[in-house]
Amino acid sequence: MVFIWGCSTTKYVPEGSYLLNKVEIENSAKDVSKEELKGYLRQKGNIKILGFWRFHLGLYNLSGQDGSKGFNQWLRRIGEEPVLYDEVLKMKSNEQLSLYLRNKGYFNAHVRDTVIQTSSKKVKVKYSIEPGNRYNLNNVSYRIDDPNIEELVYEDSVKTLLKRGKPFDARMHDKERERITKKVRNNGYFDFRKDYIYFWADSALNNYSVNDSLIIANNLISLNKDKDTLINHRKSKIKDVYFVVGFDAQEALEHQETYFQQFDTLMYEGCHILYNKDLHFRADVLINSNYIFPGQFYKEELVNKTQNLLSDIQLFRFINIRFKVADQMLDEEGNQQLDCYIQLSASKTQSYTFEIEGTNSSGNLGAAGSFKYKHKNIARGGEVFEFGIRTATERQTQGVEKISFNTFEFGTETSVTIPKFLVPFKIESFRKRYNPRTGISAAYNYQRRPDYTRIIINGRLSYNWKSNPLVTHYLSPFELSLINVPYIDPEFYDRIEPTYLIYSYQDQLISSTSYSYIYNEQLSPGEKNYWYFQSNIEVAGNILNGFTNLFNLGGSGDYKELLGIRYAQYLKSDIDIRYHFNVNRINSFAYRFFAGVAYPYGNSQTMPFVKQYFSGGANSVRAWPVRGLGPGSHKESVINYYNMTADIKLEFNAEYRYKLFWLLEGALFLDVGNIWDITSTGDEVRDANGLFKFNQFYKQLAVGVGTGLRLDFNYFVFRLDMGLKARDPSLQKGDRWILGRRALTWDDTAFNFAIGYPF
């Protein structure tokens, strides 16, 4: 990179040409940002990373003069050739900026461009904008030739985007076209297009205002070769609905006349189901995922909902919904008739994978193997069945004598996902509106270590549904987890007994109910910048507590037990907010804020270890190892295990990402956060330094900075991050800031290898 830095930026700038070194925009229009204006420049300088480094131009300039050599070709392909100043593109940029400002209501805007030579081979282009006064909307009038369309528009006029007194913006015309077109097409007008809508704006009022007219034309049709006629728009009704299961587009194209002769036909709920050979699922799978039925008026929103419902079943790899005007053109009421064809190409129903892997944990070699099986239609209703089994072993060493021993782990998990709500009452309308899923899962895990043996059993019933394309809800009314530790080495127990680590090696019984709300703008097509928000709430122990009280179970001591195990009772809630901002195709920023709190009560004095928060690691404060940070300013001195957990977590992360070349990306990041106890743990040293206090917690925040490299393979990302401790709250006051105060040591760094972005 130092070599790239030293390359001359004008190495491949020909004589008589200039490198476009910089483009500046001076703009005094308060409601038009420079970022908006930059999008209309026809020529920009070479891409920069870190705001100043033309890394990709440097790669290009590393290539030799002989462009036929393979290495030189590769450097030029991954790099970026110098952007040479072009007089024509400068003039077009001026025109585009002027046009954009006029479309924003600045009809008297003036754009002046200046070319400044900054060196013998570099120039800077400066665009100075004098916007003048912005025009506002005065009156908005309508001329709609079709009375039926007119009625639809007027009844929805409260939602119009064109309102008196608002600044004029031509983009509002396009959005108003889309809004009205959507409204009309959802009321039966299949042939209606936004081309029928146009505007006439009059700015000749001499008071910086515009009279706007919205015009919706009638349909132009040809009744004969010599004459076109304007008629009112016709509504369309669905005549027949055909599900074509096992559709092959290529074969249908090659055998147009005979293709459908090989299909059998089933009539179900008024729809025709055409299938070749066997129908491998129940007919109600299609009907329950369909909004389009004979006799209905055409509605575009119902077509989109049907497409989404069928896509989520996972039985089909290709879904195409098309309409054809029926042979019988008009019905008795004068409506156009449509036949609907829903073409479905089947995907593979079953799949399985085998995986064998080698492991190396701090020099301890091991091996693992797993098998996964998936069936997408286990009960012929689109139910997805998954089963997995995994076993692993590792050769480890311990202590000064390097005594070798084996560890062993075995786990299995099975789940069924049903494409509807599995409840004792019928809610078909909910099924079609929100596309719900029911999940039933069970898991078993056995771990044998030299220090302990642990068994984990889990069962879960869950539901998820979408209230709109961006919002998903997850509800788990019942989840039961049993953690049993049948053996623990006495010497190991004596070492951890005085520490908080003891809680992770106790039997635990957890019965919980949880709910999650997720809002994800990344799912919106074409979204450049997006927000992500997730909130979770979980309550545990209330069902078991009511059960033990009802039947007078659980003993008469300070706490109650079931199966000889003290069950947990707590409330836990957290939020996760993220924002991704893409500057351009090379540079982007990502931000994340997380806050969570867990409170034990009733039958619990402390939170179960597996439900507590931890900090550090690849997706947290990356300058600390996993579970190596906190709580508060506490520093573990009894044992060397990284196993810190607590009841409260606060964290903020910021990351600048930039693409380098090929699959390689770079990043710079800042992580701030920590965890705290909300209740006493019985450890006087930890309690003094780890308890959350409003007048102290901000002084105990850890700060880490670092850099990372990533390999982006589109489907997944390999990530290596190196974090440096900038502020360590476990150090003495006055010594907590590290960067710039003292030399860094190996303990001040942490390396994290992971799959995927951290947030």
CATH of span 236-346: 3.10.20.310
Higher pLDDT, 72 or 639: 72
pTM here? 0.86
Q: Residue 400 has what pLDDT?
A: 38
How far, in Å, CA of 57 to CA of 79, rounded? 6
- Region of poorest pLDDT, from 188-192, 335-339, 643-647: 643-647
355: left (phi over 0), alpha (psi -120 to 50) or beta: beta
> Does residue 362 have a pLDDT over 70?
no
Q: Residue 31 has what pLDDT?
A: 86
Higher pLDDT, 734 or 463: 463
For the chain, the residue count is 759
Cβ partners under 8 Å of residue 201, min gap 6 = 168, 210, 211, 212, 213
Element (H, E) at 2: helix 2-5
pLDDT in tens, 549-563: 887 776 667 788 888
Three-class DSSP category at 264: strand
How far, in Å, CA of 108 to CA of 129, rounded? 11
pLDDT band, residue 467 (cuts 50/70/90): confident
Q: Residue 641 has what pLDDT?
A: 63
> Does residue 640 have a pLDDT over 70?
no
Q: Residue 232 has what pLDDT?
A: 86
Q: Residue 124 has what pLDDT?
A: 95
Domain pair 136-231 / 236-346, same fold? yes
How far, in Å, CA of 357 to CA of 366, rounded? 9
Q: What is the mean pLDDT of the chain?
A: 88
Domain range summary for the chain, segments of one domain joined by +: 2-130, 136-231, 236-346, 613-759
% of the chain residues with pLDDT over 70: 92
Q: In the predicted model, what is the mean pLDDT of residues 457-482?
A: 93
- Region of poorest pLDDT, from 19-33, 267-281, 391-405, 616-630: 391-405
Architecture of domain 136-231: Roll (3.10)
pLDDT in tens, 565-576: 889 999 999 999
Q: Residue 87 has what pLDDT?
A: 94
Q: Residue 396 has what pLDDT?
A: 64
Q: In the predicted model, what is the mean pLDDT of residues 152-176?
A: 90
User: Among 162, 167, 44, which Cα is nearest to 102's?
Assistant: 167
Q: In the predicted model, what is the mean pLDDT of residues 463-489?
A: 92
pLDDT in tens, 729-747: 999 888 899 988 888 888 8
Q: Residue 11 has what pLDDT?
A: 87
Cβ partners under 8 Å of residue 7, min gap 6 = 58, 61, 62
Q: Residue 401 has what pLDDT?
A: 44
Q: What is the C-alpha R_g of the chain? A: 33
Task: Return the CATH superfamily for domain 2-130.
Answer: membrane protein fhac (3.10.20.310)
pLDDT in tens, 660-717: 988 999 999 999 999 999 987 766 667 788 899 999 999 999 999 999 999 998 888 9
Q: How far is CA 133 from CA 164, 173, 698, in A?
A: 17, 20, 48
pLDDT band, residue 399 (cuts 50/70/90): very low
pLDDT band, residue 525 (cuts 50/70/90): low
User: Among 639, 589, 587, 651, which Cα is nearest to 614's?
Assistant: 651
CB atoms < 10 A from the CB of 84, how many? 16
Dihedral angle sign, alpha carbons of residues 750, 754, 757, 759? negative
Q: Residue 29 has what pLDDT?
A: 84
> Does residue 78 have a pLDDT over 70?
yes
Tell me the two tokens of residue 509: 């019984």
How far, in Å, CA of 538 to CA of 598, rounded? 9
User: Among 411, 415, 429, which Cα is nearest to 461's?
Assistant: 415
